[in-house]
Amino acid sequence: MKSLKYISEQNIFSAPFDVTWLRKPALSKLLNFFHSQGVEVFAVGGCIRDSFWKKKVKEIDLAINVDPIRLKGILSRTNCKVLDIGIEYGTIAVILEGEKFEITSFRKDIETFGRKARIQYTDSLLEDAKRRDFTFNSIYLSPNGIVVDPLENFQDLKSGEVKFVGDPSIRINEDYLRILRYFRFVGKFPAANKNPDQKVLQAISKKKTFVLRLSRERTWSELKLILSFKSISTVIELMQQTGVLSVLFPDARLHNLKKMLKLEKLLWKIVTEKKQSGLVNTFDPIRRLALLLGNAKYSYQGLISLEKQEKNRLKFFQSRPGQLYELAHQVGYQYGFQDGIDLLLWSMANSLECNGLRFEKENINKLKISYEEIFLGSLAKFPLNGYDLSLLGYEGKNLGLKLKELELDWVNSKFSLHRSQLLQKL
């Protein structure tokens, strides 16, 4: 294949991971068509990562050895739909049998401007690999399941170590979003990235303010992924070390966030022991975001774009006081299990003292007891209703007030008062 010129044979080998997704009907039809036209095409990027890391392959990006104008001409012989989603950068989208594929022509960047660039098309896979962001994203897969690793970066795919292709400063200048993408991948593999290249951190530190030039949608898309990982201690430390965190969240309550992360680990142990991990979202990005925003309740509006439901959840946290864990049973009854657990973690992170290594030991029992009370509270059903009181002559406003009074007595008894005991109070 002409595109593989200058690539060593030792860097071309059978994929040591599942590639059966290459045989999906729509993709297989597209790849076979390109082969019939003498076009060289490869899968690249996220689909390779996901396949190797045993994740479900969702989006499939392709790299091809013809420029987009010629590519559109070739595709005109098919019944697929073509969209010019980024044709100025060599990218088009193809929709075939309801499935979407993004196809980018082999290229090299001549001059870059943040998220824009002046490009030149090439027929060399090696040149195309050199302009990619991270080393594990510069690995290609042929339609017959052969891995092509032009820059010898397969080991980084194995380890999960995040490295820029070439000079990190140049890669960041090409696209400022790569700063957040770097941290997103670090968050995915924290153990492999505890001791990152200092040259990378220095490059990010020098360019940290450029993250403010990104669109609100793209910023939140990356941050949400970062804040959704089970363990984010490493990535938060690196974001703090490089100054990116203070640029994005100048009012962050880092002390409280660190307590939250410790509490989440304790909670994870509890739900795992009880085999209830499916009942509660232990690692919630909005809860974590609320602590990063600190006292600046509405400062996020110029930084990130949240969905309506996400905005409501953020307000849910920001409007609640601390020490709600002292009324855990009431919280569970009033808000339900998930929201109750959210408020429990929120209140404990904002009100408990952090005593270093003693923090987990001192609070595990408090968390267990509160967890149980929230769970029981979420299941509790008040045994009286308005009809019961109406039979005893109560009506209108007096009925409502008395019913609320009895309900409060019942909640304060931690739901121990029976129906008959409540009726005796009338």
Overall average pLDDT of the 22-48 stretch: 96
Tell me, yes or no, whether 153 and 217 share the same domain. no
Give the chain's mean pLDDT.
92
Q: How far apart are CA 369 and CA 329, in angstroms?
A: 10
Question: 220 with 137, same domain?
Answer: no
> How confident is residue 4, by pLDDT bands cut at 50, 70 and 90?
confident
Structure confidence at residue 414 as a pLDDT band (50, 70, 90): very high
- Residues 221, 117 within the same domain: no
- Write out the residue range of the structural domain in which residue 60 sits: 2-159
- Assess whether 45 and 123 both reside in one domain: yes
- Could you write out the three-class secondary structure of 323-386? CHHHHHHHHHHHHCHHHHHHHHHHHHHHHCCCCCCHHHHHHHHHHHHHHHHHHHHHHCCCCCCH
Of 17-26, 227-236, 238-247, 295-304, the range with the lowest mean pLDDT is 295-304
pLDDT at site 109? 78
**Residues 276, 172: one domain?**
no
Say how many domains are in the chain.
Answer: 4
- If asked whether residues 180 and 240 sit together in one domain, one would say yes
Q: Is the pTM of this model over 0.85?
A: yes
Domain boundary among 109, 131, 159: 159
Q: Which of residues 159, 181, 201 is at a domain's end?
A: 159
Q: How far is CA 70 from CA 28, 74, 92, 126, 281, in A?
A: 21, 6, 12, 21, 49
From 190, 213, 248, the end of a domain falls on 248
Whether residues 110 and 167 share a domain: the answer is no
Residues 28 and 140 in one domain: yes
The mean pLDDT of 171-176, rounded to a whole number, is 92
Q: Where residue 13 sits, what CATH number does that domain have?
A: 3.30.460.10
Q: What is the pLDDT of residue 1?
A: 76
Same domain for 262 and 137, yes or no, is: no
Under the phi-then-psi rule, with left for phi > 0, alpha for psi from -120 to 50, and beta for the rest, what region is 408?
alpha
Residues 62 and 148 in one domain: yes
* pLDDT of 253 strictly over 90: no
| pLDDT tens-digit map of 344-358 | 999 888 888 776 667
Does 181 lie in the same domain as 149?
Answer: no
* Same domain membership, residue 142 and residue 223: no
Share of the chain above pLDDT 90, in %: 79
